[in-house]
């Protein structure tokens, strides 16, 4: 028997409206480490999007490094398997490999290596120190990782799904040849057809089109997925998205945030899966839904008892988005908003968002974008594309845009 925790989409280094969320993320990782120790897990599987951007802040990289070292010290016999997601830089993810190998049982997979697929096969050991499961550690698959030549009457999307299926099948076949008596755990970072999004996935850099669940290692006893921020099961129930451990954006507040504890016996045995709710280390508040006039909103904010928030450290106070009715207009809005920001023990996110009563929830065309933030340039692209074409940019375009930004940043550092 083997017991492991499945988590994903940490987005370390994430900012929201210019507010740093590393203090929350640091507390989550401390909680996760304690939970792994208390549950006596044999492995921790992290299914991608460890970082929020291709070039994460130094503080975010240091936070991950400290966590891996502390995990090894607390659980020296347990493994960590970490795959890159579409937000992660593959080369950057694998840069600390010499240190990971020196620590032992720390496995980092930034890129898929088609010339050496066996490299992505990890033997997870059980409490007795013997191999207890195979892990297919497949990171986010970019087009360059796949052989997608069209066969017959195939469409490009069909060829891509076939190539993904063949990739998983190749590594799974290696596992079964090595020891067919062990169960198989497959990891991946992609969007399955029919999966329910949480709200923030649309703005991910370099998203992927949906693929059929049947393409992802049908022989696997458990499939640990990342990329979709809403926890859910697919297929027969052994294909799981754990979701984000905290709300990445305001639309995700309504969904539970958790990690999954999984126990596996032998091949073919159904996994035992339990969800552990992650504590909320900093609230996300949408003020208010349904929206009201600015005068009503301001009155209610001033009448609310914020004593609990005032008692928190500033970096852990609630992140709040203000939404109000555009009619009647507020000529001195900026001054009134800045005054609220000074007086309330909240971290107000961005400019107030005005909506019209007859189409509540739609943003007015004017929008403030912080170009110095990691997601600012991408948001400019998305808004321009929406105005020009009435839809979101193609995922391939966002992927290329993200890679160009990464190249520019790398060249800018000399």
Q: Indicate if 266 and 312 belong to the same structural domain.
A: no
Which residues of the chain carry a pLDDT beneath 70?
Answer: 199-209, 358-376, 382-393, 395-396, 403, 406-414
- Round to whole Å and give the CA distance between 77 and 195: 35
Last residue of a domain, one of 248, 277, 306: 277
- End-to-end, the C-alpha distance of the chain in Å comes to 50
- Which pLDDT value is given to residue 121? 96
Strand ranges in 280-366 using DSSP code E only, listed in sequence order: 284-287, 319-325, 347-348, 353-355
Whole-structure pTM value: 0.83
| Helix/strand/coil for 351 | coil
Rg over alpha carbons for the chain, rounded to the nearest Å, is: 22
- Which pLDDT value is given to residue 372? 55
- Compute CA 268 distance to the chain's CA centroid, rounded to the nearest angstrom: 29
- Which pLDDT value is given to residue 393? 67
- Round to whole Å and give the CA distance between 82 and 98: 15
Number of Cα atoms under 13 Å in the Cβ half of residue 239: 21
Q: Indicate if 259 and 339 belong to the same structural domain.
A: no
- Round to whole Å and give the CA distance between 18 and 4: 35
Contact present, 111 and 91 (Cβ < 8 Å): yes
Q: Indicate if 293 and 267 belong to the same structural domain.
A: no
- Which pLDDT value is given to residue 219? 86
Last residue of a domain, one of 245, 260, 277: 277
Q: Indicate if 288 and 369 belong to the same structural domain.
A: yes
- Which pLDDT value is given to residue 201? 64
Contact present, 305 and 315 (Cβ < 8 Å): no
Q: Indicate if 240 and 332 belong to the same structural domain.
A: no
Last residue of a domain, one of 245, 277, 309: 277
Q: Indicate if 93 and 242 belong to the same structural domain.
A: yes
- Round to whole Å and give the CA distance between 125 and 4: 10
272-277/258-264 β-pairing: antiparallel
Contact present, 221 and 184 (Cβ < 8 Å): yes
Q: Indicate if 358 and 303 belong to the same structural domain.
A: yes
In this structure, what DSSP letter does residue 107 have?
Answer: E
- Which pLDDT value is given to residue 207? 40
Taking CA 341 as the corner, what is the angle to CA 340 and CA 347, rounded to the nearest 5 degrees?
135
Strand partners, 322: 287
Q: What is the mean pLDDT of the chain?
A: 87
Q: Indicate if 64 and 178 belong to the same structural domain.
A: yes
Contact present, 175 and 187 (Cβ < 8 Å): no
Q: Indicate if 300 and 215 belong to the same structural domain.
A: no
Q: Indicate if 302 and 160 belong to the same structural domain.
A: no
- Round to whole Å and give the CA distance between 4 and 101: 20
- Round to whole Å and give the CA distance between 88 and 101: 20
Q: Indicate if 100 and 244 belong to the same structural domain.
A: yes
Q: What is the pLDDT of residues 268-325, one digit of tens each?
A: 899 999 999 999 999 999 999 889 999 999 999 999 999 999 999 999 999 999 999 9
- Total domains in the fold of the chain: 2
CATH number of the domain to which 66 belongs: 3.60.21.10
Q: Indicate if 273 and 297 belong to the same structural domain.
A: no
Q: What is the pLDDT of residues 376-393, one digit of tens each?
A: 677 777 666 554 443 456
- Round to whole Å and give the CA distance between 414 and 407: 11
Residues of the domain holding 119: 2-277
């Amino acid at each position: 028997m083997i017991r492991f925790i499945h988590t994903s989409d940490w987005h370390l280094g994430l900012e929201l409206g210019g507010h740093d969320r590393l203090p929350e993320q640091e507390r989550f990782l401390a909680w996760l480490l304690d939970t792994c120790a208390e549950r006596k897990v044999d492995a921790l599987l992290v299914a991608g999007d460890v970082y929020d951007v291709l070039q994460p802040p130094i503080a975010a990289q240091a936070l991950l490094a400290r966590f891996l070292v502390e995990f090894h010290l607390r659980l020296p016999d347990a493994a960590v398997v970490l795959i890159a997601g579409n937000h992660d830089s593959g080369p950057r993810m694998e840069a600390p490999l010499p240190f990971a190998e020196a620590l032992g049982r720390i496995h980092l997979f930034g890129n898929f290596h088609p010339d050496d697929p066996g490299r992505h096969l990890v033997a997870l050991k059980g409490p007795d120190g013997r191999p207890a499961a195979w892990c297919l550690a497949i990171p986010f698959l970019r087009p360059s990782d796949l052989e997608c030549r069209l066969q017959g009457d195939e469409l490009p999307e069909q060829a891509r799904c076939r190539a993904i299926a063949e990739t998983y099948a190749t590594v799974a076949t290696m596992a079964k040849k090595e020891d067919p008596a062990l169960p198989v755990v497959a990891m991946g970072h992609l969007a399955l057809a029919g999966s329910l999004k949480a709200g923030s996935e649309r703005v991910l850099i370099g998203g992927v089109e949906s693929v059929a669940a049947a393409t992802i290692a049908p022989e696997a006893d458990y499939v640990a997925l990342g990329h979709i921020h809403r926890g859910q099961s697919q297929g027969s129930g052994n294909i799981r998205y754990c979701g984000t451990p905290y709300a990445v954006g305001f639309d995700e507040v309504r969904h539970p945030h958790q990690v999954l504890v999984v126990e596996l016996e032998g091949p073919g045995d159904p996994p035992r899966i339990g969800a552990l709710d992650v504590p909320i280390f900093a609230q996300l508040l949408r003020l208010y839904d349904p929206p009201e006039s600015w005068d009503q909103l301001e009155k209610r904010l001033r009448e609310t008892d914020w004593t609990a928030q005032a008692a928190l450290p500033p970096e852990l106070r609630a992140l709040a988005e203000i939404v109000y009715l555009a009619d009647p207009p507020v000529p001195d809005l900026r001054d009134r908003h800045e005054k609220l920001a000074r007086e309330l023990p909240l971290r107000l996110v961005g400019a107030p968002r005005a909506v019209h009563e007859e189409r509540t929830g739609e943003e007015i065309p004017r929008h403030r974008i912080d170009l110095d933030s990691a997601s600012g340039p991408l948001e400019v692209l998305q808004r321009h594309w929406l105005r020009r074409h009435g839809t979101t940019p193609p995922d391939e375009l966002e992927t290329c845009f993200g890679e160009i930004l990464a190249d520019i940043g790398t060249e800018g550092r000399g």
